[in-house]
Amino acid sequence: MDTTTKKIVLPGEEIDLQGMKQGNGIYHENGKYYAYQLGMLQFYNNYVNLIPLSGKYYPVKNDKVIGKVIDIAPSFWILDIKGPYPGFLHINDTPWKSGSGELNKIMNTGDTVFAKVNEITESKQIWLSLKDNGLRKLEGGHIVSVQPTKVSRIIGKGGSMVNMIKEITGVKIQLGQNGIVWIDGEPDKVLLVIKILKFIEDQAHTSGLTERVKEILEKAR
Amino acid sequence: MSRSSDEIVYGLKRDYLEKISSGGNRIDGRKFDEYREIKITTNFVTRAEGSADVRLGNTRVLVGVKIEQGEPFPDTPNSGILTTNAELIPMASPTFESGPPNEDSIELARVVDRAIRESKMIDLDKLVITPGEKVWVVFIDIHVLDYDGNLIDASTIGAVSALLEAKVPASKVGQEDFQLPINHIPVMVTMAKIGSNIMVDPSLEEEEVATARISVATDENGDLVAMQKGLSGSLTVEEIFKAVDTSIEIGKDFRKRVFGR
Amino acid sequence: MSMVSNIKLIDENGLRIDGRKFNELRPIKIEVGVLNRADGSAYIEWGGNKIIVAVYGPREAFPKHTQNPSRAIVNARYNMAAFSVDERKRPGPDRRAIEISKIIGEALESAIFVEQYPRTSIDVYIEVLQADAGTRIAGLTAASVALADAGIPMKDMIVGCASGKVDGNIVLDLNKEEDNYGQADVPLAIIPRTQEVVLLQMDGNLTREEFGQAIEMSKKAALFISNLQKEALLAKYSRPEEKEEVKEEEAEQENHGDDNHE
């Protein structure tokens, strides 16, 4: 890892690339480099990247997201995936078969799926798919939302944070990259997980978070 | 689609809230009769004659009271005028739209107005400048800033708090300014029905899945002064009596704890 | 600017009725992230002004016919609460509010990378809770902060300040009396990095020289206020423990997204 400092930058702030290459979230004008949005600078593998600290979910191919059916067309569902654009799920990209006009018998408005971003067209149509391991319609459980920019913190290094939470509470957790989280378990444990998620969101910028979360979980056990 | 996508409720969320309520649980860990934390900052808008910035959990409502001169209504020539207005501005929720008041904001304003008017909170007879000609008009304006459920109670708390500190600007007509004359203090308690359970002070998540809603306002005698049943589901008479009893109980505590009366 | 009055707005010591010098701002306080529901928010107190701004978006533009296939549209809505002024204002937009909404929206748009989000809208709601002269510039200044808080990509955070003419003198940041009884008012907003002008209005009467003076004065003040905007954002987003965290989190940020947790 060739890291130096991680600095908070504001939109329009000039960035010194320190001889590295321009990565994500940085624009240039007249030979100078500037921050494109509020974020944290990361110097990594000879690239300078800006990691957003706030903002909506912006879909990237192969992201796994949790979506809510908000409308049904003859051969596809329209889902709210909490980004600037809805997601579309075509019947052919699901394990199900159906004659046209019967999609609501499989999934209706208000139903929830764990899906993958399959394709993003030039005109920003987001096509989803259920054809991969673990992708499915979600049944039972509860839904909470977190800031999409905090999802990586909730996952933790190699899944360490979320796995620890699952292990200690016995609650099933499915994280969508878009900040939608599905949880299922005993009501008091679900409540505990909701509190932990809020805690991680609030404290995402602080150190030793995994240890502190562990402490809270152990205490509640 | 679009704006309305926020109004479509996750089906599994509805099932989950109903399921846990049958075991006596709420999604934020509260008991059925437990209110969220209330924070009130009065005199937030010094340009108004009275104001209150109310936070009920994550719901935030700003209420301003303006008192101006006006003509009395022909049928009440010796009485001041009370008028209440509410704005569900698009700042407060992705589901609120700009434009003239819709049925939700009008219902909100009228329910709050009813609690204040019917409890005879303000002594309107003392708000006459020239009998039959000029009286004080009390404008209550409810400005919803952040919507996380139970606007009726948050707005009523805000209106009552703002009225309690409001001064009539009588110096404008050559008299001395005086405290708005207050006779009674109404307390409104709103409850939601989820599954077969009734819970007070519903959060937005609870409101979204509730089948029925009931608001009951009481005065310091424990008498009922205003009610409103809302949403398309029904309540049994027993449930209504229970809601009334809960409102009376909570009202007593509120009057002391929140308004110091 | 048209009211006639005998009120003396500058005293014999060259001080204004609120005790300020010609080039002195009223106190300004900015807070970030004051609302829960909005995607970004900010609160500003500027003199007696109290203004909250919420940002929603980018979200699908609605109604659909407003969508632009090649970029986001920026909707600003400036609104005064009924109780924000001395005489109660009838709720709802009047012609003044509609004009102000338009010019604020255009000014904000000049800094936003709108081509990044075709077919969407970025909605900026400016609620004046208490008005004390200079609400459009105070609202716009808070709106930039709320946009940054919402993670909207921007060239820079625009900022502004008004100046005007009072008793024959060019002064900064008019207060209510100066606004009512002064001789001219010039609200100005700029992109601080390039100092390009993105909002400008003027009413009253100024000589060419006075106008130049007013612009210089406002620009200088705007750059000062620009720092207040940045401080407010940093107060929310950077905390003392930041630095340590850096190394520990480095790797995590890289491999987000490829986990399938169950």
Residue C84 corresponds to which tokens in the numbers above?
């924000």
Instruction: Kindly report the nearest CA distance between residue A193 and chain B, in angstroms.
Output: 11
Q: Do A8-52 and A64-138 come out as alike in CATH topology?
A: yes
Determine if the pTM surpasses 0.90: yes
Determine whether domain A64-138 maps to CATH 2.40.50.140: yes
| Domain enclosing residue C41, as ranges | 28-236
The residue type found at C155 is K
Task: Measure CB to CB from residue A84 to each of C60, C248, C256 and give the nearest one.
Answer: C60
Q: Complex ipTM, two decimals?
A: 0.94
- How much is the average pLDDT of A106-110? 95
Is B58 within 8 Å of C36 when comparing Cβ atoms?
A: yes
Chains in touch with A (3+ beta-carbon pairs under 8 Å) read B, C
Residues of chain B neighbouring C87 (CB-CB closer than 8 A): 68
C-alpha to C-alpha distances, B180 to B81, B162, B176, nearest whole angstrom:
13, 10, 12
> What are the pLDDT digits (tens) for B37-91?
999 999 999 999 999 999 999 999 999 999 999 999 999 999 999 999 999 999 9
Nearest CA-CA distance, residue A173 and chain C, Å = 6
Neighbours of C (≥3 Cβ pairs closer than 8 A)?
A: A, B
Task: Determine contact: A70 vs chain B, CB below 8 A.
Answer: yes
pLDDT of residue B3: 56
Contact list, C119 vs chain A (CB under 8 Å): 85, 123-124
**Subunit contact C82:B139, Cβ cutoff 8 A:** yes
Mean pLDDT by 10 residues, chain C (262 residues): 69 94 98 97 98 96 92 97 96 96 98 96 98 97 98 98 97 96 96 97 97 98 98 85 42 38 36
User: Are B10 and A188 a contacting pair at CB < 8 A?
Assistant: no
Give the residues across from C125 on adjacent strands: C54, C77
Q: What is the C-alpha separation between C74 and B98, in angstroms, rounded?
A: 15
pLDDT of residue C231: 97
Q: Does B2 touch chain C (CB under 8 A)?
A: yes
What mean pLDDT do residues B132-143 have? 97
Q: Could you tell me the CATH superfamily of domain A142-220?
A: K Homology domain, type 1 (3.30.1370.10)
CATH class of B9-257: alpha beta
- Tell me if C180 is assigned to some domain: yes
Domain boundaries, chain A: 8-52, 64-138, 142-220
Interchain pair B66, C130: CB under 8 A: no
The alpha carbon of residue B133 and the mean position of all alpha carbons in its chain are separated, in whole angstroms, by 31
- Mean confidence (pLDDT) of chain A: 92
Mean pLDDT of chain B: 95
Q: Is B248 on the interface with C (CB under 8 A)?
A: no
- Please provide the CATH number assigned to the domain covering A8-52: 2.40.50.100
Angstroms from C257 CA to nearest CA on chain B: 23
Full DSSP string of B167-186: EE-GGGGTS--EEPPB----
Contacts of A187 in chain B (CB under 8 A): 20, 23, 25
Half-sphere exposure of C256 (CA within 13 A, CB side): 21
Instruction: Please name the member of A37, A152, A163 whose beta carbon is closest to the beta carbon of C154.
Output: A37
Q: Sign of the C-alpha dihedral, residues C143, C146, C148, C154? A: negative
Least confident of A79-93, A196-210, C113-127: A196-210
pLDDT in tens, B223-252: 999 999 999 999 999 999 999 999 999 999
Asked if C52 and C164 count as a contact pair (C-beta separation under 8 A), the reply is: no
Q: Work out the average pLDDT over B126-148.
A: 97
Closest by Cα among A121, B46, B120, B211 to C45: B46
pLDDT confidence of residue A163: 96
Per the CB < 8 A criterion, the answer to whether C260 and A63 are in contact is no
Domain spans in chain B, listed from the N-terminal domain onward: 9-257
Nearest-angstrom CA–CA distance, A123 and A129: 18
Please tell me which chains touch B, using 3 or more CB pairs under 8 Å as the contact test.
A, C
Band (pLDDT 50/70/90 cuts) for residue A220 is confident
Question: Does residue C59 belong to any structural domain of this protein?
Answer: yes
Peptide linkage before C58 cis (omega within 30 of 0): yes
Chain A residues in contact with B1 by the CB 8 A cut-off are 70-71, 78, 86
Backbone conformation region of residue C133, classed left if phi is above 0, alpha if psi is from -120 to 50, else beta = left
pLDDT digits (tens, 9 = 90+) for B92-116: 999 999 888 999 999 999 999 999 9
Cα torsion A35, A37, A41, A44: sign = negative
Q: Is some CB atom of chain C closer than 8 A to the CB atom of A28?
A: no
pLDDT by residue (tens digit) across A7-36?
899 999 999 999 999 999 999 999 999 999
User: What is the pLDDT, as a whole number, of residue C251?
Assistant: 38
Facing residue for C83 by CB, picked from B64, B100, B148: B64
Work out the average pLDDT over B217-223: 96
pLDDT at res. C163: 98
**How many distinct structural domains can be found in chain C?**
1
For residue C50, give both structure tokens: 């109290």
pLDDT tens digits along A28-66: 999 999 999 999 999 989 999 999 999 999 999 999 999
